[in-house]
Structure 1
Amino acid sequence: LLQHVKTNVESLFTCLPPRPKLFDFHGVSMTKCFTDNWDNVQNVKARPDDILIATYPKAGTTWVSQILDLLYFGQTSPERQSSIPIHMRVPFLDLCRPSQPTDLVDQLPTSPRLIKSHLPVQFVPKSFWEQNCRIVYVARNAKDTAVSYFHFGRMNMFQPEPGEWSSFLQHFIQGEVVFGSWYDHVRGWWEKKQTHSKLHYMFYEDLIEDTGREIDRLCSFLGLSPSAEERERIRGAVQFDNMKKNKMTNYSTVPSMDLKVSSFIRKGKVGDWKNHFTVAQSEQFDEDYKKKMKNTTLQFRTEI
């Protein structure tokens, strides 16, 4: 089974097409990588114990995926972490092959199944709501997200060509990037949290500030009670430098990622945006941000 899943994953990346083009898909900028198989993704059969890890791109998806995998399987199946890459342990719901659309999810041998997605809330398959699945959403401040997404686009052949930073930033502000507007994404999930009790909304900045505290909050949400020693072991394992060096989490095994251009796990800092934004860009961004976020209680920190 493991070899079957591994073969499926590798086949997704072996024959890389030209850089994809963006187009409007039900009001959200997308590429055909994520829409050609839309009906099959939407018809995926969620299970009641599934855990969906939802994020806007570059908001700590891999980080939280590794935390959850360690919480559930770190002691019972330690070989998972040392031999199976994170993108196989926690498959990407949104990226499926037309010939076998949901194989990576359907073939997962674990219970619960850990599944990740970058879909905005309105695109999540209905079965996840019908089964009342637990969902962990991670949000990151817009400025650092924009910077990280820019570098991700430079190194990932499945992303549209990002161009220069200044032009990419304008596209980001307008929501003209894959998975659409950051503003719509984080607000949509925040609003869903108010009515869906099994949605845990986390902040990247909080994870940076105190990883142990956020693991404790996750455990409380999930009903888990690991020992103090186990919690500390997990906290150490998911520190930035350890994640970056770990071949099972740093995406060095994925051919579409050109690590010579930029590492997949790059800096993991709050406030790195200051090294990219000019004063004028920051002022323009802030003015636009205030308009788009004025009618929400959702608040972010751009430094800690």
Structure 2
Amino acid sequence: MARLDVTEMFHGISFPGHLHTQESLQLALRFPFRDTDVLIVSYPKSGTTWMQEIVTLVANRGDPHLNQTVPNWTRAPWLEQYYSAAVLEASSPTKRTITTHLPHHLLGPALQGSKAKVIYVSRNPKDVVVSFYHFHKMANFLPCAGTFEEFLNKFLEGTLNFGSWFDHIKGWTSQMASMDNLLHVTYQEMSLDLHGAIRRVSSFLDCPLVEEEVNKSVQHCSFARMKNNNMVNYTLIAHEIMDHSKGSFMRNGKTGDWKNMFTEEQNQYFESVFKSKMHDCTEFVWEYICYIVCLWYDAGNQKLPQ
């Protein structure tokens, strides 16, 4: 299934047709979640792959065998993509890890009444847009990126594939006050304190690890390890679908890389749009810079390092 030039419009949001069909998207909205499921939710390029690795390692108490032998899209398939039904049908009947980029207003109804564990991963939106821009350059199933300024404007307008970042983060984080089965982990937290992030995830998943298991998990999901792991870095994908001669799926893993891309004018414009769209939300910190986002801390009420 190539469909590299196909775009699927679904509930006003565009999705790449190479991975999504109207049928697969509809199936996702009525997916029968199990109480034992773990659902990783994110907007693209927010730390999804990193969390997939963490969850796999936590479930296997730091043993990297699956991380090194099974592609991440098989270990934690994307719910809304066309191949997921077949993969999930072959999964263990008691424990499944599933990934999604769907916004809450679409997927929320399917989760109602379920005790499935939901891990929401977010990232500084400036870093998100830079990473997504570079990904568009190498992913032949995504539209042409154009100039960075053109891409940035589409991001702020919410017209890129997968829709609005603003709607996505507001939709999911607004549920934290009412969902005790939802954990919010940020890319910054994983970057600054991977050991602590793994402990939080393991506790949330009711799979507490001993120190040796946490250390092994940290070792095997470091950015350098993931970048060189063919089960993670997407080098197994055919060249005509993802052209690694034009870039790397895992570029540098740093926070604050947006500063190397934004002009001062672009940054000012971003700030003005951000404040307009997120003015009614709670204070949050990315990269030691205060932004306003819709966030309710998890039950521990632990703020990120400052």
TM bin (shorter chain): 0.7 to 0.9
Within 5 Å, which residues of 2 pair with 1:89-168? 89-97=75-83, 102-109=85-92, 111-124=94-107, 126-168=109-151
Pairwise CA distance, 1:42: 2.1
Q: 1:52 aligns with which of 33, 39, 60?
A: 39
Is the 1:187–1:298 Cα contact (8 Å) retained in structure 2?
A: no
Alignment correspondent of 1:199: 182
Q: What amino acid does structure 1 have at the position aligned with 2:176?
A: K
- Does residue 276 (structure 1) correspond to residue 264 (structure 2)? The answer is no
Alignment correspondent of 2:298: none
Cα 1:298–1:16 shift into 2, 3 Å: farther
Matches of 1:233 and 1:247, distance apart in 2: 19
Q: Percent identity?
A: 32
Alignment correspondent of 1:86: 72
Q: 2:22 aligns with which of 36, 48, 61?
A: 36
Q: 1:230 aligns with which of 195, 208, 213?
A: 213
- Does residue 297 (structure 1) correspond to residue 282 (structure 2)? The answer is yes
Structure with the largest fraction of helix: 1
- Does residue 20 (structure 1) correspond to residue 6 (structure 2)? The answer is yes
Matches of 2:35 and 2:266, distance apart in 1: 45
Root mean square deviation of aligned Cα: 1.9
1:39-91 deviation per Cα after TM superposition (whole angstroms, max 9, x unaligned): 2222322211000000000011110101110111256x753222211111111
Pairwise CA distance, 1:289: 0.8
Matches of 2:61 and 2:2, distance apart in 1: 33
Alignment correspondent of 1:259: 244
TM-score, scaled to structure 2: 0.87
1:223 alignment partner, SS class: coil
Pairwise CA distance, 1:141: 0.8
Q: What amino acid does structure 2 have at the position aligned with 1:181?
A: S
Matches of 1:230 and 1:147, distance apart in 2: 34
Alignment correspondent of 1:6: none
Matches of 1:213 and 1:295, distance apart in 2: 30
Cα 1:142–1:260 shift into 2, 3 Å: same
Alignment correspondent of 1:9: none
> Any unmatched runs of 5+ in structure 2?
290-306
Cα 1:258–1:298 shift into 2, 3 Å: farther
- Does residue 183 (structure 1) correspond to residue 166 (structure 2)? The answer is yes
> Any unmatched runs of 5+ in structure 1?
1-14
Is the 2:27–2:80 Cα contact (8 Å) retained in structure 1?
A: no
Matches of 2:52 and 2:4, distance apart in 1: 29
Matches of 1:68 and 1:22, distance apart in 2: 30
Alignment correspondent of 2:304: none
Pairwise CA distance, 1:267: 1.1
Matches of 2:203 and 2:236, distance apart in 1: 33
Matches of 1:169 and 1:66, distance apart in 2: 29
